[in-house]
Chains A and B, each alone.
Chain A
Amino acid sequence: VQLQESAPRLVKPSETLSLTCSVSGGSIDGYYWNVIRQPANGGLEWVGHVYSNGRTKSNPSLNSRVTMSVDMSRNQFSLKLTSVTAADTGVYYCARACCRDGGFDSWGQGTMVSVSS
Chain B
Amino acid sequence: QSALTQPPSVSGSPGQSVTISCTGTRSDVGSYDRVSWYQQPPGTAPKLIIYEVSLRPSGVPARFSGSKSGDTASLTISWLQAEDETDYYCSSYTGSGTYVFGTGTKVTVL
On whether A44 and B36 interact (CB within 8 A), knowing A60-B1, A60-B98, the answer reads: no
**Chain A interface mostly helix, strand, loop or mixed?**
loop
On whether A93 and B45 interact (CB within 8 A), knowing A43-B103, A101-B93, the answer reads: yes
Give CA–CA (A46, B96) in the complex, Å. 13
Does residue A80 face the partner (Cβ distance < 8 Å to B)? no
Q: How many A-B residue pairs have CB under 8 A?
A: 63
Does residue B18 face the partner (Cβ distance < 8 Å to A)? no
Contacts of A58 in B (CB 8 A): 98
Contacts of A26 in B (CB 8 A): none
Give CA–CA (A100, B93) in the complex, Å. 9
> How does the 8 Å CB contact mask read for B73-110 relative to A, with 1 for contact and 0 for none?
00000000000000101010100111111011000000
Bin the interface of chain B by size.
20 to 34
On whether A44 and B98 interact (CB within 8 A), knowing A101-B34, A103-B91, A104-B36, the answer reads: no
Instruction: Tell me the count of chain A residues lying within 8 A, CB to CB, of chain B.
Output: 23
Give CA–CA (A55, B94) in the complex, Å. 18
Task: Give chain B nearest CB distance to A94 CB in angstroms.
Answer: 9
Q: Which of the residues A45, A104, A110 comes within 8 Å of B48, measured between beta carbons? A: A104
Does residue B38 face the partner (Cβ distance < 8 Å to A)? yes
Instruction: Give the nearest-CB partner of A107 in chain B.
Output: B45
Instruction: Give the nearest-CB partner of B47 in chain A.
Output: A107
Does residue A117 face the partner (Cβ distance < 8 Å to B)? no
B51 in contact with A103 (CB, 8 Å) = yes
Does residue A13 face the partner (Cβ distance < 8 Å to B)? no
25 A-B pairs within 8 Å (CB atoms) are namely A34-B99, A36-B101, A43-B3, A43-B101, A43-B103, A44-B38, A44-B46, A44-B91, A44-B104, A46-B100, A58-B98, A59-B98, A61-B1, A93-B46, A100-B97, A101-B34, A102-B34, A102-B51, A103-B36, A103-B48, A103-B50, A103-B91, A104-B38, A107-B46, A109-B44
7 smallest beta-carbon distances between A and B, as pairs: A103-B51, A103-B36, A101-B93, A107-B45, A46-B99, A44-B101, A101-B34
Q: Which residues of A pack against B, CB within 8 Å?
A: 34, 36, 42-46, 57-61, 93, 100-105, 107-110
